[in-house]
Amino acid sequence: ADKVTIVYPMRFQDSNDIVLTTSFLQEFVEARRTAALNNVPSCMWSPAPPLELKGVSADALNANAGFVTFVVYPRHVEGKKLDRTVWNLLTFHAYVSYHVKCSEGFMHTRMRRWVESLIQ
């Protein structure tokens, strides 16, 4: 009644995406510690399943990029905050995937520029 814990197993096909996602999620958790974000739900990342998933089948625990855990308290969903909080939680995996693909595209662009400068 006092909190809800949401756990996302992060699964990706491409090995590059796994590495980028792991790095992104570690930075995501660190960013949460800034003073401006002290009212958002707590966020934790772990390469191993959290204790909340004890007893869950091994198939459900197949996550090659780790597990992200959010803890949502009543203050995060009171009043008009409910819709935004639920939307952000529902689209979290898509959010991470988008940023991983953008990071990959940015790195490819930088590498192309670097190769072009070397050729010149």
DSSP sequence for 28-40: HHHHTTSGGGTTS
Please, are residues 25 and 96 in contact by the beta-carbon 8 Å criterion? yes
Residue 31: domain span: 4-119
Q: What is the mean pLDDT of the chain?
A: 87
Q: What is the pLDDT averaged over residues 60-69? A: 86
pLDDT tens digits along 89-116:
999 999 999 999 999 999 889 999 999 9
Query: Residue 30 corresponds to which tokens in the numbers above?
Result: 């660190």
Please count the CA atoms within 13 angstroms of the CA of 70 that sit on its side-chain side. Answer: 19
Does the pLDDT value for residue 35 go beyond 70? no
6 CB-near residues (< 8 Å, 6+ apart): 69, 70, 71, 72, 89
Looking at residue 97, which CATH number applies to its domain?
3.30.1460.20
pLDDT tens digits along 16-34:
889 999 888 888 888 877 7
3 class by beta-carbon count within 10 Å (0-12 exposed, 13-18 middle, 19+ buried): exposed
Measure the CA–CA gap between 11 and 18, rounded to whole angstroms.
8
Domain count of the fold of the chain: 1
